[in-house]
Amino acid sequence: MADVRLWGYKIYRICGALILVLQLSYVGLGLRCYCNQCPQMSDLPSNSCMARPNSKCFTAVTINYLEDETTESWDYGCLGDDESTLLQCKGDLVPHHVPKTIACCDSGDDCNWELTPKVVERSTTPVPEYEVPKKYENITHIALLISVTVCFVILIITVTFVYLRYRKRELEREQILEEAENETFIGTGETLHDLIEQSQSSGSGSGLPLLVQRTIAKQIHLIKSIGKGRYGEVWKGKWRGENVAVKIFFTTEEQSWFRETELYQTVLLRHDNILGFIAADIKGTGSWTQLFLITDYHENGSLYDYLKLHTLDTHEMLLLCHSASCGISHLHTEIFGTRGKPAIAHRDIKTKNILVKKNGTCCIADLGLAVRYISESSEVDIAPNTRSGTKRYMAPEVLEDRVNKNHFDAYKQADMYAFGLVVWEVARRCIIGGIAEDHALPYFDCLHSDPSFEDVRKIVCVEQIRPAIPNRWISDPYMKILTKVMIECWSPNPAARLTSLRVKKTLGKMLESIELHTKLSSQS
């Protein structure tokens, strides 16, 4: 057993000696380098590594750019065969992500200890992968310069064109205004008022002579839009130096335009409390058409707009209501004679269709839905268009469709129902006992802004609701009578309603009374 152990120990010593000889022979074939980041070998000095055959030792310097300072880090070691071709030992290494310089040597062991690579300072900006050749840069600059120049020229041309067009329109406008100022007369020394008076005396209608009407559309200068509706738009215009209102109908409303023009041409229709008709004309070409209805212009606008902006005293309230009733009465009244006037019912009485004149009186406008009574044949001439009145102002019999369409008085009675609501609207803005309500439409507390036909029918016919009457109105003598008038006008029974003539006389007496009282008070 001892002999076996002895032989084993000898074999172990022999193997160890062989391994040492092989290791020493291998080391002798390589180069020892100084290394600061290499695996330690027990048979080599510390901080040393053994380069492979035909390889080199290296020293590398890396520059680190920090926010506040710049530092250098040095690396030493052995360069393998495969790395010698990658790093190339040519000094500055461009492909590195950080600035790095390397130097190599193979002159002897630890030759890289005193090796100092040449540090090259470089910008931290990454090197582009591809640089555009200078000749292409020049082409780009030239193309950019040409593009900017062309755009600038186009801009100048466009601005010049727009300015010249604008200037041309301004010159045309100035010319029209100058002609309007210089040609106040039509050519025969007659003003607009004179021509209308002449037309009335000749029996040709209530507006300008027909020959003048056929050319008026080309001579009118539209200034600004003052209102829109379901039929079209209303403009303020100038004709021969005078303000006019131009109602321009949609082409789809040709029947309404024709109907209203026909009614305004009615002989003896002209009245202080009916909107003054001037002319009707068609303007356009084959591709577009404008249907003009030219009337007097009233700067106060509609009664609806006027009540929103003004509170009233008792005299102003009665003047508005009485003048409106005079206009309706003139429409409703038939004038007999060789040049008589048929009775006309409006069918769309509301504050938006009543205009306020400069003197505080009213005139009735918008005859597009009106009907005429031909007494010779007892025939009711109904407009052929499909328009209907305003639902909020419709009488109960109209809402329930129980109007006798062959009985003309039924249309006049429906007008008086609507007029009763108009009087209520005006009365709300009158200061009684130091208080005036805000302007509101009839049934504002029961209906929303755009009620359906069924909503109005339910309130007016089924529930028989009428606008509320404040208690203080009853304590005022004038408001008490006016309240009685409006209640009788909106009676559910059409036959029980006041006629326009009766309302006109009642309001006229009230107006005379308050004017007399005011006169006596001022004298005393």
Alpha-carbon span 262 to 243, nearest angstrom: 23
pLDDT at 351 > cutoff 50: yes
Task: Characterise 479 by phi-psi region: left (phi > 0), alpha (psi -120 to 50), beta (else).
Answer: alpha
DSSP character string of 259-276: HHHHHHTSTT---TTBPP
Neighbouring CB atoms inside 10 A of 448's CB total 9
Alpha-carbon span 356 to 331, nearest angstrom: 18
Give the pLDDT score at 254: 85
pLDDT at 42 > cutoff 60: no
Give the pLDDT score at 337: 79
Give the pLDDT score at 27: 45
Question: pLDDT (tens digit, 9 = 90+) per residue, 195-206?
Answer: 666 555 544 456
Give the pLDDT score at 103: 84
Q: What percent of the chain has pLDDT over 70?
A: 76
More confident residue, 400 or 212: 400
Give the pLDDT score at 202: 47
Give the pLDDT score at 184: 40
pLDDT at 461 > cutoff 90: yes
pTM for the structure as a whole: 0.63
Query: 188 pLDDT band (50/70/90 cuts)?
Result: very low
For domain 299-524, which CATH number applies: 3.10.20.30, 2.60.120.10, 2.60.120.260, 1.10.510.10?
1.10.510.10
More confident residue, 131 or 450: 450
Find residue 292's DSSP bridge partners.
248, 281
> Known catalytic residues?
348
Query: Going edge to edge, which strands form the sheet with 91-92?
Result: 70-79, 56-65, 100-105, 91-92
Give the pLDDT score at 400: 93
Rounded to 5, what percent of the chain is helix, strand, coil?
45, 20, 35
Distances (CA, A) of 303 to 96, 99, 298, 348, 441: 87, 87, 11, 14, 12
Distances (CA, A) of 185 to 182, 219, 220, 244: 8, 13, 14, 15
Alpha-carbon span 496 to 85, nearest angstrom: 119
pLDDT at 292 > cutoff 70: yes
Give the pLDDT score at 496: 96
More confident residue, 450 or 387: 450
For domain 192-297, which CATH number applies: 3.75.10.10, 3.40.50.1390, 1.20.1250.20, 3.30.200.20?
3.30.200.20
Question: pLDDT (tens digit, 9 = 90+) per residue, 416-442?
Answer: 999 999 999 999 999 998 999 999 999
The superfamily (CATH) of domain 29-124 is CD59 (2.10.60.10)
- Which two structure tokens, joined as six digits, stand for 243? 């303000």
Q: What is the DSSP letter of 302?
A: B
Question: pLDDT (tens digit, 9 = 90+) per residue, 493-511?
Answer: 999 999 999 999 999 999 9
* Mean pLDDT of the chain, nearest integer: 82
Distances (CA, A) of 315 to 132, 219, 327, 518: 90, 41, 18, 9
